[in-house]
Structure 1
Amino acid sequence: MLPLDEFAPPADPALADVAAEIRRLDPDGSRWAAVIRHTYDMIYNGQETSRYRWDQLMKTEKTHFGTLFEINAQREFHFEGGDSTDYRIAGHQVDAKWSQSMGGWMLPPEVFDELALVATGDDATSSWSLGLVRVRSEYRREGANRDKKSQLNQLGRNSIHWIWRDAPLRPNVLLQLPRDVVDNIFNNRFGTQRTHRLFRAAEGRIVHRNIVATVSRQLDHQKRVRYNGGSRSALAPEGYLILSGQYHGGLVEALDLPMPRNDEYISVRVVPSSDGTGAFIGGRRWRRARPDEAVAEPAPRIDEPKANDD
């Protein structure tokens, strides 16, 4: 995920300074992507609410997303506070603005003629964008609300210097699965059973531990994954392995699966391999089962750390 480079350098020297500093702090955009992912997860508060979609939030919560985004970005990058704006970056005043829709940023009078760091995202499409714009009078819409806030007009939106545009966001697997499948996952009173249903339905897909917390709604939600009563033991007779990005990267690679990060899982249905391909587990080779292939043997047991954090 590299910053955009097809645009000409901005004519505004301060904007160019800020853009260069943002790129210096985060050359590939991964830190900004993590800020946005974390903000979505915070606002959903899935472990307590089971929410995982934007349309499940209350209006006040949606409004609060921008404040959380601003706070989380400051914690991640340690920007100085501005005089009348949120930050001071590379010595320049910068105000952070989030909108769930492209172009929907609300700009108060104190940001007029200052730099705005505008960001947007879409959890359903796993994408986000971040850019800079000088909030000039000719870039603002004529109308304003009772708080004297305005939005960018078409000229203003066209004048945004995009640093990242439609960059990938770590996926929310509950938004990737069909709605009726997700409804079925949640349609059980027991957190352990909901977790089993999740890993069955999400076979071959990345599952973040926050999703496990959202589905299980347990304080020790990682226990719902492990052996001794968790999904690893419950789903093994059906041929499922549940692999951790932190501990099972070699098995993930050998089974030719998407690689989860340290705080992610991936489930896979396996069968014994007769052609020497796949992962070597328990003295035998195993490969990913085809969607229509019956599983005749339980999945082999994999190594599992004893610590609570796997």
Structure 2
Amino acid sequence: MPAVTTDNVLALPRVAEPDRVAARPRPVVSVTTAPKGYEGEGFPVRRAFAGVELRALDPFIHMDQMGEVDYAPGEPKGTPWHPHRGFETVTYIIDGEFVHHDSNGGGGTITNGDTQWMTAGSGILHIETPPEHLVVSGGLFHGFQLWVNLPRTNKLVAPRYQDIRGGQVSLLASPDGGALLRVIAGDLDGHAGPGVTYTPITLVHATLSAGASLTLPWRPDFNALAYVMAGKGTVGAKGRPVELGQLAVFGAGDTITVAADAKQSMDVLFLGGQPIREPVVAYGPFVMNTKAEVMQAFEDYQAGRLGSIPAAHADVRGEAS
């Protein structure tokens, strides 16, 4: 699992050791297992948030772990052109390559450790596909797509695209050097990631060495989620077992704790954000506050008001799914 790494984790800035007397450990409220499914043209995913109440996820809406899959030649797949409105998509690639194009002129190729952050806002069309050389050769593919809700006041902001290279993320070490942390967005112990967000969130990819334990300071006004993307270990101060494909939801407090199994490393995606606490009506590619707003989004898409497919890509049809 390459993403972005370092030759000497001990040379990195350290996350401060939380005050074990004053800090309140967050309890583990639930651990759920992501069901497997297929997305787009048929690439395998794990539905990370399935079975979790939306109020526990707020401000997050949806997350897929894409792969990990080792494609044979001719097998790599993507998504056709489709619309979005009312939220942001965050695509983080760990292995392999993905190519993004959108109707607002954003896009490019992202690979190991890169992130594409698309604010759909008032509406946009986009497509994500593997590059042609990867289709021909096959190969390993692994990544995530996260949907971040936008508050009512930002639902219809102008679309934008952020191309975040792996080398831009903030690299940190745990106090004992047993874990490597990649801050993609938000702030962790005063260290900011490069992603610019409308909704205050923190997004961190951590790799824990076998047997390592990690306790992170976490904003008490944020929710706290930990998704295991590889390996196994425990979550919470009481050591609840978790493994690949499981999501832990934490309760109130100041710190979150995970630990890797004694015999293997563990990769965890930490997510937290300030809850928006507004009505959510999500249907297909639109996330709005009311059913009427979703219906309006469909009407605007069908009328061509969410953008048009660039001429260079007009041979690929769009779908509202």
- Scaled by the length of structure 2, the TM-score of the pair is 0.22
User: Which has more strand, going by share of residues?
Assistant: 2
- Scaled by the length of structure 1, the TM-score of the pair is 0.22
User: Which has more helix, going by share of residues?
Assistant: 1
